[in-house]
Amino acid sequence: MELRQLKYFITVAESLHFGRAAESLHLSQPALSKQIQALEESLEVQLFERTKHWVRLTIAGQKFLETARRILREVEEGIQVTRQVAGGAMGRLRIGFTEATLFSLAPDMVRTYREQYPQVELILTSGGTETHVEALRTHQIDVGFVYLPIREPSLSIHPLLEEVYIAALPASHRLARQKEIMLQSLATEPLVFYPRSLAPVMYADFIKCCEQAGFVPNVVQEAELAQTRLGLAAAGVGITFVLSDMQNLSAKGIVYRSLIGAFPTLKLALAWRQNETSPVVHECIKLLKTIKYCSVSN
């Protein structure tokens, strides 16, 4: 049995006339009759009763008409789904955001992506660069927002923008009266920063910048999450630092101030596996590269 034979059968069944059916199918009547006969032989069932004057479906033919229509409908739907999957318009996509991008880039990016690819299931996670690199390596995510530099030859990298830090401190702090804070002003202040183990390069750059400003930073506590550091700052434990996009995150009792002086910045980039074959992932990368990301500066 062939799919074209199902189409021929449905056309004859709907018109109950071999001549008209053959004409609509652009076949000769003998060729159409031969195909219907071949279909009946493959099914070992008579589908039509026919004389020189009329044609009608047998009871078996009536039942098979329902089956034939369902088969062709499912085949057509399957073809459409296959084309959508092959074109990256259907499937599943797992994206890893950094904490800052989850609040800044994610809302607009996700909205744009869903408008263009409504049939792709999006799974969003958050984490640090090392977490995303490992998740990409072990196929737990498909695309990750990361901070450079990255030394992982199995990944493709596309730089996006450079992000800067701002100070976060209690509204009651004496430095909160200033619109901008000199880095040197933090020389005697208790500070809350990233754990050294989480971002060793960033931590070393931070220490170096403070030393170049003439002091050794007094890091009294370390915390991985910006929200945790903001909570500690609000509690008066110490002044902390967050990426400038995080100031959109409301934190009770906290004010944000720009920093004057050399301070580490972070270069945000997209990362994905070099050997990635998923059309969904490649369509996502293509879209993310076209989005205009606003660079942040003091």
> Mind listing the domains of the chain with CATH numbers?
3-86 (1.10.10.10), 91-162+267-290 (3.40.190.10), 165-264 (3.40.190.10)
DSSP codes joined into one string, 188-242? TSEEEE--TTT-HHHHHHHHHHHHHTTS--EEEEE-SSHHHHHHHHHTTS-EEEE
pLDDT of residue 87: 66
The CB-side HSE value for 91 (13 A sphere, CA atoms) comes to: 18
* Residue 128 contacts residue 266 (beta carbons within 8 Å): no
Q: Both tokens of residue 189?
A: 């202040």
Per-residue model confidence (pLDDT) at position 66: 94
180-182 and 254-260 as β-strands: parallel, antiparallel, unpaired?
Answer: parallel
Q: Over its length of 298 residues, how does the chain's per-residue pLDDT go in tens digits?
A: 788 999 999 999 999 999 999 999 999 999 999 999 999 999 999 999 988 889 999 999 999 999 999 999 888 877 776 676 666 666 889 999 988 888 788 888 889 889 888 888 999 998 888 899 999 999 999 999 998 888 899 999 999 988 889 999 999 999 999 999 999 999 999 999 988 887 788 888 899 999 999 999 999 999 988 889 999 999 999 999 998 878 777 778 899 999 998 888 889 999 999 999 998 999 889 888 887 665 443 3
Three-state DSSP at 253 gives: coil
Sign of CA dihedral 175, 176, 180, 181: positive
Decide: 155 and 255 in contact? Cβ < 8 Å: no
**CA atoms of 97 and 149, how far apart (whole Å):** 17
Would you say 239 and 169 are in contact if contact means Cβ atoms under 8 Å apart?
yes
Pull the structure tokens for residue 277: 């074959």
User: Tell me, what's the pLDDT at 298?
Assistant: 36
Q: How many residues does the chain have?
A: 298
Residue with tokens 């930073």: 217
Report the SS3 class of residue 268: strand
pLDDT score for 106 = 85
The pTM for the full model equals 0.67
The one-letter amino acid at 274: Q
pLDDT at 296: 41
Phi, psi of 70 (to 5 degrees): -65, -40
End-to-end CA gap in the chain = 71
**Residue 30: Cβ within 10 Å count:** 10
* pLDDT score recorded for residue 212: 93
Q: Where are the alpha helices (DSSP H) in the chain?
A: 3-15, 18-24, 29-43, 59-86, 99-104, 106-116, 129-137, 200-212, 226-234, 279-290
Q: What is the pLDDT of residue 78?
A: 76
Cα–Cα distance, 24 to 51 (Å, whole number): 21
Cα distances from 239 to residues 105, 145, 156, 211, in angstroms, run 26, 27, 36, 17
Which has the closest alpha carbon to 8: 45, 27, 79? 27
For residue 110 the two structure tokens come to: 């996700």
Tokens of 231: 């909570």
